[in-house]
Amino acid sequence: MGRYIQVEDGVNLFVQDLGEGIPVIFLHGWPANQLMFEYQFSKLPMNGYRCIGIDFRGFGKSDAPWDGYTYDRMADDVRAVIDELGLENAVLVGFSMGGAVAIRYMARHQGHGIAQLALMGAAAPVFVKRPDFDYGLMTADDFTTDMIEATYEDRPKMLSKFGLQFTHSKKRAGTMVWLESLCLQASHHGTIKAAIALRDEDLRGDLAAVNVPTVIFQGMKDKICDPQFAQLLSESITDARVVPFEHSGHAMMFDEAEKFDKELLLFLDQVAATNQIPRPASQNL
């Protein structure tokens, strides 16, 4: 079921809410929307999980205000959704930019309502190379030219080029067309301003505040987020483990879908066991 939730500055966020049980909050990557998790939304409710997908402001069906695309603002939006839905002992799942916002949420809001964290190809701790950060697969100048300026000039062309780096599998042409269609639903200015946040934000000071069990999924052939990010995150988050996807690019949920679903369900089941939360019996297809 989809609904709109109005946040503090009057922006309406579109939120998908499916199933019953332990809440699992999904934060999508740039510049897609929560529909990128549609396969998980179809499967997890059959295993006793409630899937909650949030379209960030400027993306999907959410409002697209002129301002408000910092990680702080997007983390505050997540808090507004959690409070409105009264969520407790939830699992926060963040992919790519969504992973970065999830980390900022854990630091800025002291992990309010969250029992465990899953980071997937997270654009963190810093997305681009800097003089004091020698990781990342591009410099800030290259990102400005290839992603931000290219979006000003020809957004569909930029998205087509970006999509070629998204997965490792060459058999996913149909999936890439579908994902590109999701990205085209975003606002033009929201796409640009969120890209500026990707380029400029720094999460190194946030990581010590993550104090819940954390799993880090990382495609080892990722051409968007440096695979070394996963190791850096695991070294700075107290209770974290890395699950490598050896045959995946950035989007391991498509390149190694079976392994992804298995590992995600294993992690979610740990939430139920740790918090002694009963789950409904699994349903067969």
CATH number given to 2-274: 3.40.50.1820
Q: Is 96 a catalytic residue?
A: yes
Share of the chain above pLDDT 70, in %: 93
- Measured distance CA(116)–CA(126) in Å, rounded: 22
CA nearest neighbour of 82 among 72, 73, 92 = 92
Catalytic residue among 28, 55, 62, 96: 96
Say if residues 99 and 113 touch (Cβ distance below 8 Å): no
Residue 165: band (very low, low, confident or very high) from pLDDT cuts 50, 70, 90: confident
More confident of the two residues 1 and 237? 237
Neighbour tally for 73: CB within 10 Å: 20
The residue from 63, 76, 206, 222 that is catalytic is 222
Computed from CA positions of residues 261, 86, 104, 100, in that sequence, does the dihedral angle turn out positive or negative?
A: positive
Catalytic residue list contains 76: no
Q: Do residues 257 and 36 make contact, with C-beta atoms less than 8 angstroms apart?
A: no
User: Is 188 among the residues known to form the active site?
Assistant: no
Per-residue pLDDT tens for 94-122?
A: 999 999 999 999 999 999 999 999 999 99
- Give the dihedral of Cα atoms 162, 167, 172, 176; nearest 10 deg: -30
Q: Where are the chain's structural domains?
A: 2-274
Write the pLDDT tens digit of every residue in 250-284.
Answer: 999 999 999 999 999 999 998 667 666 665 555 54
